[in-house]
Every structure is written in C-alpha cells, then in structure tokens.
C-alpha cells in the first residue's frame, strides 16, 4: 500500500474516532443532565412529603353557619364539628343575636363560646358563612397562609326571604342600607332598588348594624372607646329612602 493510501486511511480513522469521541462526550453531558434532574425530583419529593406531614398536623379552621337564630337551627354536621372543636367563636359583628342565645348555645353545644366581635376572627356565623363578605375574606386569608378550612353551610335571610310569598327567582341585586351621619349620606343603594323595580324585580334590603363602632375621640387620640350598639329599624330605612326619593329622578 502506498504512503498516500496509508495517510488517507489514517485520516479517515481519525475522523471516525473524533466522531465517536464527540458522541461519547454528548452522552456524558446527557447523563449529567439526567442525574441533575433526578436530584431535583428527589428534593421536590422530600419537600412535598414535609408539607403533607405539616398540613396533616395543622388543625382545621371550620366556618359554620348557624341558621336563622335558634340554637337548634345548626345542622347535624355543624353540631358534630362544634362538639369536637378545641375553641369555638361566635361572630357577633355582621348579624343580630338574641339576648339569651349565648347561654342557650353553651348549654346546647356543651362548649364554652368566645364572642368574636369586629376585632377578632370568627368561626361560627349566624345564617350562612358566605352571606357576608367578611367571611369570604376570612377564607381567602386562611388559604393565603396555608390554613386548611372547611365551610358548613346553612339557611340565611337570602333564601328565607321566600317565606313572605315572593319568588326567589324574582329578586334582583341585594342592597345594604347604612346609617347616615350629618356629613355622610350615601344613596347608591336607592339607584339599585330603582333599577330592580324597572326590571320587575324585588329587592332585599339589609339594614345596618353598628357594633363596636369607634368614637371620633378614640380615632383621634388612639384610645379604645366605642359608640353604643345600634340596629337600624324598618322605619329608619324607609325614611332615608323617602328623603332620597325627594331629590332623585328615579321614583320607587
């Protein structure tokens, strides 16, 4: 074989070896990538196991609807949960409670009950838990802090309004009528009532409740003082509506 042919053959083999070497190097790189991904997977799996264990160790935060006012309006499921809870709070901010209901509840539930006003978190709620935005906010905050929650629904004024003979299908947007002050007299609720009326719909009006409202002095001096509790009457709400109708173009 001539020197030229030998040189050509050697060059060809060298090229083949370079190609094989490149393939081996790529295989090693892929292996490293696979090992890195495997380690990441194992790390994620370990973290997930820790999270699962921690969540199992957390106590459940129950939000339980109590119904329309009687202590026996609570559902069977709700009562069973209340009896098992380590602490029970009764929300006394967004609804009216009957004077002797607290003592009756303690006796019926067989549990001590902590009154939860506007400055505290609540777990037992008159009506249905999602009948007030306060309770929706509670659930969202609990989820943001990874606190497990469970809601027990019940009857509320939103569906009990049907007992007056009006079909629930024919109700429009629900409105809240707040107490007026000398310097603050909102009237947007009136427009919604007029809008419902023009569409042939009834309106459920929720009347204002003011419990533990801070006094002006307490706001300026940072001293905790509260106004006496107030509960709007039907006549007060009607008078505010009449006052608005005298100046608004839309008539009820």
What's the CATH number where 114 sits?
A: 3.40.1010.10
* Shared domain check, 86 and 127: yes
Of 98, 125, 158, the last residue of a domain is 158
183-217: pLDDT as tens digits? 899 999 999 999 999 999 999 999 998 877 777 77
Q: Is the confidence at residue 249, as pLDDT, over 50? A: yes
pLDDT for the residue numbered 119: 55
- Please give the Cα distance from 182 to 245 (Å, whole number): 18
Q: Which two tokens stand for residue 246?
A: 């005298």
pLDDT for the residue numbered 179: 94
Domain assignment present for residue 140? The answer is yes
pLDDT for the residue numbered 21: 72
pLDDT for the residue numbered 211: 77
* Shared domain check, 149 and 173: no
Of 158, 178, 200, the last residue of a domain is 158
Q: Is the confidence at residue 54, as pLDDT, over 60? A: no
Domain assignment present for residue 25? The answer is no
Domain assignment present for residue 237? The answer is yes
pLDDT for the residue numbered 123: 47
Domain assignment present for residue 41? The answer is no
In this prediction, what percent of the chain has a pLDDT beyond 70? Answer: 71
Residues 6+ apart with CB under 8 A from 89: 113, 114, 115, 116, 120, 121, 122, 123, 124
pLDDT for the residue numbered 118: 56
- Please give the Cα distance from 218 to 204 (Å, whole number): 34
* Shared domain check, 180 and 219: yes
- Please give the Cα distance from 80 to 128 (Å, whole number): 17
* Shared domain check, 153 and 114: yes
- Please give the Cα distance from 206 to 248 (Å, whole number): 21
pLDDT for the residue numbered 121: 45
- Segment 155-166 mean pLDDT: 87
pLDDT for the residue numbered 122: 41
* Shared domain check, 121 and 181: no
User: Closest Cα to residue 77, out of 138, 131, 153?
Assistant: 153
Domain assignment present for residue 179? The answer is yes
65-123: pLDDT as tens digits? 888 878 888 999 999 999 988 888 887 666 665 556 778 888 898 888 887 765 554 44
pLDDT for the residue numbered 58: 55
How many domains in the chain? 2
Domain assignment present for residue 186? The answer is yes
- Please give the Cα distance from 8 to 206 (Å, whole number): 97
Q: Which run of H or E residues covers position 91?
A: strand 89-91
Domain that holds residue 74: 61-158
What average pLDDT does the structure give for the chain?
79
* Shared domain check, 208 and 140: no
Q: Is the confidence at residue 37, as pLDDT, over 50? A: yes
Between 247 and 236, residue with greater pLDDT: 236
Of 111, 136, 158, the last residue of a domain is 158
Packing angle, helices 101-109 and 76-84, rounded to 10: 80
Q: Is the torsion defined by CA of 143, 147, 151, 156 positive or negative?
A: negative
Between 237 and 217, residue with greater pLDDT: 237
- Segment 40-53 mean pLDDT: 67
- Please give the Cα distance from 125 to 152 (Å, whole number): 10
* Shared domain check, 141 and 113: yes
* Shared domain check, 133 and 172: no
* Shared domain check, 229 and 176: yes
């Amino acid at each position: 074989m001539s020197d030229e042919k030998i040189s050509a053959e050697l060059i060809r083999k060298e090229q083949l070896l370079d190609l094989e070497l490149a393939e081996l190097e790529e295989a090693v790189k892929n292996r490293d990538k696979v090992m890195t991904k495997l380690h990441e997977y194992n790390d994620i799996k370990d973290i997930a196991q820790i999270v699962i264990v921690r969540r199992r160790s957390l106590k459940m935060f129950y939000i339980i609807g109590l119904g329309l006012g009687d202590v026996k309006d609570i559902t069977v499921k709700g009562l069973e949960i209340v009896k098992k809870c380590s602490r029970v709070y009764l929300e006394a901010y967004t609804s009216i409670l009957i004077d002797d209901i607290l003592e009756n509840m303690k006796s019926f539930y067989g549990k001590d009950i902590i009154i939860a006003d506007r400055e505290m978190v609540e777990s037992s709620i008159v009506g249905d838990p999602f009948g007030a935005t306060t309770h929706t906010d509670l659930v969202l905050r609990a989820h943001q802090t990874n606190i497990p929650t469970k809601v027990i629904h019940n009857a509320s004024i939103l569906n009990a309004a049907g007992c007056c003979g009006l079909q629930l299908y024919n109700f429009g947007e629900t409105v809240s009528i707040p107490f007026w002050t000398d310097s603050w007299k909102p009237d947007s609720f009136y427009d919604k009532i007029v809008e419902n009326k023009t569409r042939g719909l009834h309106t459920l009006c929720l009347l204002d409740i003011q419990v533990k409202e801070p006094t002006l002095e307490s706001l300026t001096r940072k001293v905790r003082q509260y106004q006496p509790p107030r509960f709007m009457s039907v006549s007060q709400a009607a008078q505010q509506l009449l006052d608005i109708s005298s100046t608004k173009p839309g008539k009820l």
